[in-house]
Amino acid sequence: MTTPTLETPRLVLRPLQLDDADQVQELFPHWEIVRFLNSVVPWPYPADGALTFYRDVALPAIARGDEWVWTLRLRSDPDRVIGSIGLKRSADENRGFWLGLPWHGQGLMTEAADAVTDFWFDTLKFPVLRVPKAVANTASCRISEKQGMRVVATVERDYVSGRGEAQIWEVTAEEWRARRARLTSGRIDPQRIEEARALLGRLFGPTPLVHAASLSAADHDVYLKIETGLRNWNFTEVTGQLQAGDEIVTSLDVQGLTDGLAVVPRDESKTKD
Question: pLDDT digit string (tens) for 118-164?
Answer: 999 999 999 999 999 999 999 999 999 989 999 999 999 999 999 99
Beta strands, E only, 43-159: 67-74, 83-88, 95-99, 128-134, 150-159
pLDDT for position 257: 33
CATH 3.40.720.10 correct for 6-178: no
**Whole-number pLDDT of residue 181:** 81
Are the C-beta atoms of residues 54 and 22 closer than 8 Å to each other? no
pLDDT in tens, 202-245: 555 444 455 555 555 555 555 555 433 333 333 434 444 333 33
Output the pLDDT for position 37: 97
CB atoms within 10 A of CB 61: 16
pLDDT at res. 184: 66
**In this structure, which long-range contacts are made by residues 173-182, counting pairs with CB atoms below 8 Å and at least 24 apart in sequence?**
173/121, 173/125, 173/126, 173/127, 173/128, 175/148, 176/117, 176/121, 176/129, 176/147, 176/148, 177/121, 179/147, 179/148, 179/255, 179/256, 180/118, 180/215, 182/254, 182/255, 182/256, 182/264
Burial of 233: CB neighbours in 10 Å, binned 0-12, 13-18, 19+? exposed
Please give the pLDDT value at position 30: 97
Average pLDDT score over residue span 18-23:
98
What order do you get walking across the sheet with 150-159 strand by strand?
128-134, 162-172, 150-159
Q: Give the pLDDT confidence score for residue 39 in this predicted structure.
A: 96
Q: Mean pLDDT, to the nearest integer, of 254-271?
A: 37
Tell which residue, 47, 10, 13, 15, has the closest CA to residue 28.
47
Band of pLDDT at residue 269, cut at 50, 70 and 90: very low
What is the value of pTM for the model shown? 0.71
User: By three-state DSSP, how is residue 262 classified?
Assistant: strand
In tens, the pLDDT along 51-105 reads: 999 999 999 999 999 999 999 999 999 999 999 999 999 999 999 999 999 999 8
Q: 35: which DSSP letter?
A: T
Residue 20 pLDDT greater than 80, yes or no: yes
Does the pLDDT at position 109 exceed 90? yes
3-state secondary structure of 73: strand
| DSSP annotation of 56 | I
Residue 191 neighbours by CB under 8 Å, 6+ apart: none
Map residue 90 onto helix, strand or coil.
coil
Q: Give pLDDT tens digits for 237-253.
A: 444 433 333 334 333 22
| Parts of the chain belonging to CATH 3.40.630.30 | 6-178
Backbone phi, psi, residue 228, to 5°? -75, -30
pLDDT at 172 over 70: yes
Positive or negative, the CA dihedral 195, 147, 108, 214 is negative
